[in-house]
Structure 1
Amino acid sequence: MNKLCRFFASLNKIQTGTDKKAYVGYIIYRDSVALSVSPLKAKFTMSTGGYLKNAKKGALLVEFIPYRDDPIDNQRLNLLPKEKKMISLTEDHIIKLIALKEESLEFQRNNRWDEKKLTVSKQAELWKFTLATINRSTELLTKSEISLKPQEFSMIKRLCEFSMPYIQGWQVLENPQLADGLIISPEELKKPQNDDMI
Structure 2
Amino acid sequence: MVSLNITAPGGGGGRFSIPNPQKLSSPNSTVSISILFTRSKNEVFLTAPHGKCSKNVPFIVKSQYLTPQEQRQQQQRFSSFESPSPSQPAGQLPPRVYVGYTIYKGKAALAVEPRPPEFSPLDSGAFKLSKEGFILLQFAPAAGVRQYDWSRKQLFSLSVTEIGNIISLGTRDSCEFFHDPYKGRSEEGKVRKLLKVEPLPDGSGHFFNLSVQNKLINVDENIYIPITKAEFAVLVSSLNFILPYLLGWHTFANSTRPEDGSRLNNANSTVDYEWNR
TM-score scaled by structure 1? Answer: 0.72
Partner residue in 2 for 1:10: none
Matches within 5 A, 1:1-198: 15-16=87-88, 18-68=93-143, 78-101=147-170, 102-112=172-182, 113-123=190-200, 124=202, 125-137=204-216, 141-176=220-255
Q: Hey, which of these two has a bigger chunk of strand by percent?
A: 1
CA contact (8 A) 2:210 2:222 kept: yes
Aligned partner of 1:87: which letter?
F
Residue aligned with 1:93, SS? helix
C-alpha separation in 1, matches of 2:252 and 2:180: 33
C-alpha separation in 1, matches of 2:193 and 2:234: 24
Deviation of the 1:46 alpha carbon: 1.5
Deviation of the 1:80 alpha carbon: 2.4
Aligned partner of 1:100: which letter?
L
Residue aligned with 2:210, SS? strand
Q: Give RMSD over aligned pairs.
A: 2.0
Deviation of the 1:129 alpha carbon: 0.4
C-alpha separation in 1, matches of 2:217 and 2:137: 24
C-alpha separation in 2, matches of 1:83 and 1:131: 13
CA deviation string 1:126-153 (max 9, x = no partner): 3110001112347753101100110101
C-alpha separation in 1, matches of 2:100 and 2:250: 18
Q: Which runs of 5+ in 1 are unaligned?
A: 1-14, 71-76, 177-198
C-alpha separation in 2, matches of 1:151 and 1:117: 25
Deviation of the 1:61 alpha carbon: 0.8
Aligned partner of 1:151: which letter?
A
Aligned partner of 1:104: which letter?
S
Q: Rg: which structure is higher?
A: 2
CA contact (8 A) 2:107 2:225 kept: no
C-alpha separation in 1, matches of 2:248 and 2:142: 34
Residue aligned with 1:49, SS? coil
Residue aligned with 1:131, SS? strand
C-alpha separation in 2, matches of 1:147 and 1:60: 19
C-alpha separation in 1, matches of 2:108 and 2:228: 15
Spell out structure 1 runs of 4+ moving beyond 6 A: none
Aligned residues: 156
Change in CA separation of 1:19 and 1:138 when aligned onto 2, cut-off 3 Å: closer
The structure whose RCO (Cα within 8 Å, separation 6+) is larger is 1
TM-score scaled by structure 2? Answer: 0.52
Q: Which runs of 5+ in 2 are unaligned?
A: 1-86, 183-189, 256-277
CA deviation string 1:102-147 (max 9, x = no partner): 2111011112341001100111113110001112347753101100
CA deviation string 1:140-188 (max 9, x = no partner): 5310110011010111111111111111011101224xxxxxxxxxxxx
Identical-residue share of aligned pairs (%): 27
